[in-house]
């Protein structure tokens, strides 16, 4: 009977942590890296190409990352993936959306980027400055409204 209650308590704690990660953590505009130079040098050389880009930290074991997969193809930027801990798990659907892939088996790259969890998407401008960060599950509104709005502020005014 004791093991039953241990399982119930553990399940409740996992559910609470998952809820907090999706609803209670601060959103992208408050991330400490917004406005900072992106540490692109720690990523695959493909991520250092000119122009605006998305840098997306993900892992095969992450439930929220799984929820984001269908939306990744709609991100209106070249998307550079960073795979945490299990670099052998690059799935075909992720390969299709990736402009480049960096491996982060020891979470050193994610620490350099200041990630507080995964998934996390960084929008980086053509000068290498982080302009927007989304932690957690992406929404259709993020893809169709927020990211294009951020990108529109990067375009030169004519």
- Give a yes or no: residue 81 inside a domain: yes
pLDDT of res. 32? 87
- Give a yes or no: residue 113 inside a domain: yes
- Give a yes or no: residue 7 inside a domain: no
- Give a yes or no: residue 76 inside a domain: yes
- Give a yes or no: residue 79 inside a domain: yes
The count of domains in the chain is 1
pLDDT at 20 over 60: no
DSSP secondary structure letter of residue 27: -
Residues paired with residue 83 on neighbouring β-strands, in sequence order: 58, 103
Q: Chain centroid to CA 56: how far?
A: 4
Give how far Cα 91 sits from Cα of 37, 69, 97, Å: 30, 10, 11
Structural domain harbouring 41: 27-152
pTM of the model: 0.77
- Give a yes or no: residue 93 inside a domain: yes
Output the domain CATH number for residue 135.
3.40.30.10
Give the residue carrying structure tokens 């959306």.
Answer: 97
- Give a yes or no: residue 158 inside a domain: no
- Give a yes or no: residue 47 inside a domain: yes
Confidence of residue 136 (pLDDT cuts 50, 70, 90): very high
Confidence of residue 12 (pLDDT cuts 50, 70, 90): low
H-run or E-run covering 56: strand 53-58
pLDDT at 91 over 80: no
pLDDT of res. 46? 84
């Amino acid at each position: 009977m004791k093991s039953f209650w241990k399982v119930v308590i553990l399940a409740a704690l996992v559910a609470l942590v998952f809820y907090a990660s999706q609803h209670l953590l601060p959103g992208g505009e408050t991330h400490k890296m917004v406005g900072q130079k992106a540490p692109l040098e720690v990523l695959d050389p493909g991520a250092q190409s000119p122009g605006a880009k998305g840098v997306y930290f993900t892992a095969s074991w992450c439930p929220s990352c799984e929820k984001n997969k269908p939306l990744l193809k709609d991100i209106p930027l070249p998307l550079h993936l960073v795979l945490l801990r299990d670099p052998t798990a690059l799935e075909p659907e992720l390969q299709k959306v990736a402009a480049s892939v960096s491996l982060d088996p020891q979470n050193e790259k994610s620490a350099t980027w200041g990630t507080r969890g995964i998934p996390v998407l960084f929008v980086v401008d053509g000068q290498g400055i982080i302009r927007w960060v989304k932690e957690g599950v992406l929404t259709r509104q993020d893809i169709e409204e927020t990211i294009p709005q951020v990108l529109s502020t990067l375009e030169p005014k004519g």
